[in-house]
């Protein structure tokens, strides 16, 4: 976009100057012409008067000569006229037209033809112009000569009454108009001079004026061009006090507004709106700079800390997005406080942050900062009247790895972070090349998993749940298995964490739920009257958060035809106690369908026992770890006993998980645990094998 158009055009100053000069010129020429005209008319009249006066005098001297027709006397009378420079020639005519005397005073002059008959000899004074053959111009006066000149002058004088004296002849006086010509020449020269002076003075004035008018306009134009170019800093200075100054003021105001707006835009483009921290773009830019420095300057090191908050989503979902946002802001402040002013703290998106530690001495330096952040996160954040705890998993990439691009650095720091998240959480890990291979493997797994969902490569295996007293199978727990086309049967431990992280678990769980219900319906129909009563299906954390969970379960039950009382849903306790209020509502709705609810892995989480009685649950599954250690020490024995007491008090069932030995079974039996599950009886098996076990 250009602010000029390319059409040929004239500037304001040129137009203004041209107009004023034209005006001055027209005026000056007009005045000159008028002056010349009137001067000429005056001169002509004077010449004529002069001629008449002379003729009048001369005619008196000629009266006698004419009368007597004495040529000598006439010549003498006329000779006196030679002193007058204006008189070129003189002729005396008889009243009949005959020439009586003729004298030429100016050699070049030549007496013209006789005056035209009728016109000339009217007995009155008349005059005419005539061009001589010498090229000169003459004013000829024809003056009648009478005994007295009074009356003859009548037509010229106009006022006097006519006289009827007899005309004797005529005096024909030729006056040269050379003087007039000279006069014209002088006049033309002086008016030309006058015009030139006027034009010069006028032009100077016009240039001055046009400058005064167009200069501020040009400055405004220049300012507009600067703004168009993106320079908003130069102020517009106009010192006039007219409308242009008003315009300039509006312009100046506009410039300020545009600059502020532009600043905001530029700031927003490279900063995170919520926290005000640099965003990924700005961070990458600074990181790129650091990469270049590290290459050029020996001894310059930098480190990048990648931080991902642990369980931020849970906080967002349970406490609301407002609290989530406040937490992010508070966290970003804490992060900034943990580093030097020269370091860059950025929010890369969501709950991901990065810190660029510039000019550090080495690995220990980066580790020191990471531990400081870790320590700082141990204190809770006071948010909206409550204390919120959050931890962050960190990964560190160091410039010593010889990076080329910011993406590589961030990728490795992210990989290291993931390592922290997978293993220790709330801690930091320094990137090692081996992690990269693992990250690649993860990526492959993720791709495979996505494809597996499309191809429905997941099947439930069934592990029997038995009654301690009756020693028979009362139900089956459906446990997901992945039939990978190349890797064969993949156990849940290898894909469930990834599936949970990516959200793919929702689809997997729904596949398993449907298949388990279909299977259970078949078994119920087939083994009517048997002890087999239910199928137990696991629900992942993400699944619980699905807004349509209840509707989905209802739909599956309806479509598969499985009566709801034959379905149990297992939910890990952490899911429930992170937000007991909403969990309670959800569980009630699920119970409303007629299904049964169990808390899985009970004892491993942070269950608040005070909430337990408020949750509409049907039973607990005592975590495998407690059962496993029954053989070793008595302590776990005590824990199981406590859990059993709790279950009894709440009037709910208990299932002991992971029973592998008869000793363990004997112990849980002694503690009045009604149900058990474990390798002692069977591993999770294919549906056909499970079916064979029912019949057993």
CB closer to Ca ion, 180 vs 655: 655
Shortest separation between residue 639's beta carbon and Ca ion, angstroms: 15
Instruction: Check: CB of residue 368 under 8 Å from CB of residue 388.
Output: no
Shortest separation between residue 537's beta carbon and ligand C2E, angstroms: 7
Contacts of the segment 444-448: beta carbons below 8 A, 24+ positions apart: 445/494, 445/495, 445/498, 446/498, 446/502, 448/484
Shortest separation between residue 572's beta carbon and ligand C2E, angstroms: 7
Instruction: Check: CB of residue 477 under 8 Å from CB of residue 463.
Output: yes
What distance in Å separates the CA atoms of residue 213 and residue 11, rounded to the nearest whole number? Answer: 12
CB closer to ligand C2E, 126 vs 677: 677
In total, the chain counts a number of residues equal to 696
Shortest separation between residue 643's beta carbon and Ca ion, angstroms: 13
Shortest separation between residue 446's beta carbon and ligand C2E, angstroms: 17
Tokens of 166: 């007899």
What distance in Å separates the CA atoms of residue 461 and residue 465, rounded to the nearest whole number? Answer: 13
CB closer to Ca ion, 413 vs 627: 627
CB closer to ligand C2E, 62 vs 496: 496
Is residue 573 part of the contact set for Ca ion (CB under 5 A)?
no
Shortest separation between residue 521's beta carbon and Ca ion, angstroms: 21
CB closer to Ca ion, 236 vs 479: 479
Query: Binding partner of residue 505 among Ca ion, ligand C2E, none, CB under 5 to 8 Å per kind?
Result: ligand C2E
Site string for Ca ion, 648-677 (x = CB under 5 A): ---------x--------------------
Concatenated DSSP letters for 106-145? Answer: STT----SPPPHHHHTSSS-EEEEEE-TTS-EEEEEEEEE
Please calculate the CA angle 518-523-526 and round it to the nearest 5 degrees: 125
Say which residues have a Cβ less than 8 Å from residue 653's Cβ, sequence separation at least 6: 598, 618, 619, 620, 647, 674, 675
User: Which span sits near Ca ion by CB under 5 A: 291-299, 536-544, 642-650, 684-692?
Assistant: 536-544
User: Which span sits near Ca ion by CB under 5 A: 6-14, 168-176, 593-601, 679-687?
Assistant: 593-601
| Strand ranges across the sheet with 391-398 | 344-349, 352-360, 301-310, 391-398, 428-430
CB closer to ligand C2E, 202 vs 619: 619
Query: Binding partner of residue 509 among ligand C2E, Ca ion, none, CB under 5 to 8 Å per kind?
Result: ligand C2E
What are phi and psi for residue 42, nearest 5 degrees?
A: -60, -50
Nearest Cα neighbor of 533 from 619, 614, 616, 661 is: 619
CB closer to Ca ion, 390 vs 479: 479
Tokens of 348: 């890369």
Query: Binding partner of residue 479 among Ca ion, ligand C2E, none, CB under 5 to 8 Å per kind?
Result: ligand C2E
Tokens of 417: 């972070």
Query: Binding partner of residue 176 among Ca ion, ligand C2E, none, CB under 5 to 8 Å per kind?
Result: none
Among 412, 457, 509, 601, binds Ca ion (CB under 5 A): 601
Query: Binding partner of residue 615 among ligand C2E, Ca ion, none, CB under 5 to 8 Å per kind?
Result: none
Shortest separation between residue 438's beta carbon and ligand C2E, angstroms: 21
CB closer to Ca ion, 283 vs 676: 676
Is residue 600 part of the contact set for Ca ion (CB under 5 A)?
yes
Taking CA atoms, 690 is separated from 75, 412, 483, 513, in Å, by 170, 46, 18, 17
What distance in Å separates the CA atoms of residue 463 and residue 485, rounded to the nearest whole number? Answer: 24
Shortest separation between residue 562's beta carbon and Ca ion, angstroms: 19
Is residue 509 part of the contact set for Ca ion (CB under 5 A)?
no
Site string for Ca ion, 616-655 (x = CB under 5 A): ----------------------------------------
Taking CA atoms, 507 is separated from 442, 539, 648, in Å, by 19, 11, 36
Beta strand pairing call for 473-484 and 458-467: antiparallel
Helix (H) or strand (E) holding 364: helix 363-376
Shortest separation between residue 307's beta carbon and ligand C2E, angstroms: 28
CB closer to ligand C2E, 261 vs 679: 679
CB closer to ligand C2E, 352 vs 578: 578
- The 3-state secondary structure of 140-208 reads EEEEEEECCCCCCCHHHHCCCCCCCCCEEEEEEEEEECHHHHHHHHHHHHHHHHHHHHHHHHHHHHHHH
Query: Binding partner of residue 540 among Ca ion, ligand C2E, none, CB under 5 to 8 Å per kind?
Result: ligand C2E
Shortest separation between residue 361's beta carbon and Ca ion, angstroms: 48
Among 351, 570, 573, 578, binds Ca ion (CB under 5 A): 570
Query: Binding partner of residue 496 among Ca ion, ligand C2E, none, CB under 5 to 8 Å per kind?
Result: ligand C2E
Helix (H) or strand (E) holding 338: helix 321-338
Helix (H) or strand (E) holding 398: strand 391-398
Nearest Cα neighbor of 567 from 478, 467, 471, 686 is: 478
Shortest separation between residue 328's beta carbon and ligand C2E, angstroms: 29
Q: What does the binding site for ligand C2E look like in residue numbers (CB under 6 A)?
A: 463, 479-480, 491-493, 496, 505, 509, 512, 538, 540, 570, 600-601, 624, 657-660, 677-679, 684
Shortest separation between residue 499's beta carbon and ligand C2E, angstroms: 8
Helix (H) or strand (E) holding 601: strand 596-602
Query: Binding partner of residue 457 among ligand C2E, Ca ion, none, CB under 5 to 8 Å per kind?
Result: none
CB closer to ligand C2E, 198 vs 576: 576
- Interface contacts to Ca ion, rule CB under 5 A: 538, 570, 600-601, 657
């Amino acid at each position: 976009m250009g602010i000029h158009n390319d059409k040929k055009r004239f500037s304001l100053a040129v137009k203004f100057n041209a107009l004023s000069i034209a005006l001055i010129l027209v005026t000056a020429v007009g005045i000159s012409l008028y002056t010349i005209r009137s001067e000429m008319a005056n001169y002509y009249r004077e010449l004529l008067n002069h001629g008449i006066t002379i003729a009048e005098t001369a005619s008196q001297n000629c009266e006698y000569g004419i009368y007597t027709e004495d040529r000598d006397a006439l010549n003498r009378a006329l000779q006196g006229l030679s002193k007058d420079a204006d008189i070129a020639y003189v002729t005396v005519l008889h009243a009949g037209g005959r020439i009586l005397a003729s004298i030429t005073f100016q050699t070049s002059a030549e007496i013209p033809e006789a005056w035209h008959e009728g016109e000339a000899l009217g007995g009155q004074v008349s005059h005419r112009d005539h061009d001589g053959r010498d090229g000169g111009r003459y004013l000829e006066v024809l003056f009648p000569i009478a005994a007295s000149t009074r009356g003859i002058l009548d037509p010229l004088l106009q006022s006097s009454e006519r006289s009827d004296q007899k005309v004797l002849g005529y005096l024909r006086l030729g006056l040269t108009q050379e003087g007039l010509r000279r006069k014209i020449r002088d006049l033309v020269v002086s008016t030309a001079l006058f015009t030139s002076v006027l034009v010069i003075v006028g032009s100077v004035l016009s240039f001055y004026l046009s400058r005064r008018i167009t200069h501020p306009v040009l400055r405004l134009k220049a300012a507009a061009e600067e703004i168009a170019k993106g320079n908003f800093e130069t102020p517009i200075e106009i010192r006039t006090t007219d409308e242009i100054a008003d315009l300039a003021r509006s312009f100046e105001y506009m410039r300020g507004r545009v600059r502020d707006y532009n600043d905001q835009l530029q700031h927003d483009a490279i900063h995170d709106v919520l926290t005000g921290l640099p965003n990924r773009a700005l961070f990458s830019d600074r990181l790129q700079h650091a990469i270049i420095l590290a290459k050029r300057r020996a001894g310059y090191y930098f480190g990048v800390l990648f931080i991902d908050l642990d369980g931020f989503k849970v906080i967002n979902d349970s406490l609301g997005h407002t609290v989530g946002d406040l937490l992010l802001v508070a966290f970003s402040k804490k992060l900034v406080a943990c580093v030097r002013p020269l370091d860059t703290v950025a929010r890369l998106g969501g709950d991901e942050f990065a810190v660029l530690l510039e000019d550090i001495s080495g690995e220990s330096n980066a580790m020191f900062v990471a531990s400081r952040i870790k320590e700082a996160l141990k204190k809770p954040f006071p948010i909206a009247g409550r204390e919120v705890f959050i931890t962050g998993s960190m990964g560190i990439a160091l410039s010593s790895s010889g990076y080329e691009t910011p993406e590589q650095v961030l990728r490795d720091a992210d990989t290291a972070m993931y390592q922290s998240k997978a293993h220790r959480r709330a801690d930091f890990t320094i990137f090692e090349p081996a992690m990269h291979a693992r990250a690649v493997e993860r990526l492959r797994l993720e791709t495979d998993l996505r494809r597996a969902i499309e191809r429905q490569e997941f099947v439930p295996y069934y592990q029997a749940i038995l009654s301690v007293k009756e020693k028979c199978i009362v139900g089956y727990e459906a446990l997901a298995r992945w039939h990978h086309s190349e890797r064969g049967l993949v156990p849940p431990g290898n894909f469930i964490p990834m599936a949970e992280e990516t959200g793919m678990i929702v689809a997997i769980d729904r596949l398993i739920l449907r298949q388990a219900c279909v299977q259970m319906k078949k078994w119920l129909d087939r083994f009517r009257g048997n002890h087999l009563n239910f199928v137990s299906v696991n629900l992942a954390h993400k699944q619980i958060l699905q807004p349509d969970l209840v509707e989905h379960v209802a739909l599956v039950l309806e479509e598969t035809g499985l009566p709801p009382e034959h379905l149990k849903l297992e939910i890990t306790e952490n899911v429930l106690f992170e937000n007991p209020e909403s969990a309670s509502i959800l569980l009630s709705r699920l119970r409303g369908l007629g299904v049964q609810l169990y808390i899985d892995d009970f004892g491993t989480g942070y269950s608040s026992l005070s909430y337990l009685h408020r949750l509409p649950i049907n039973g607990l599954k005592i975590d495998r770890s407690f059962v496993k250690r029954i053989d070793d020490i008595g302590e776990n024995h005590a824990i199981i006993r406590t859990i059993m007491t709790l279950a009894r008090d709440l009037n709910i069932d208990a299932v002991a998980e992971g029973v592998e030995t008869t000793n363990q079974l004997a112990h849980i039996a002694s503690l009045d645990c009604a149900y058990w599950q474990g390798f002692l009886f069977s591993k999770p098996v294919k549906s056909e094998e499970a079916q064979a076990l029912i019949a057993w």
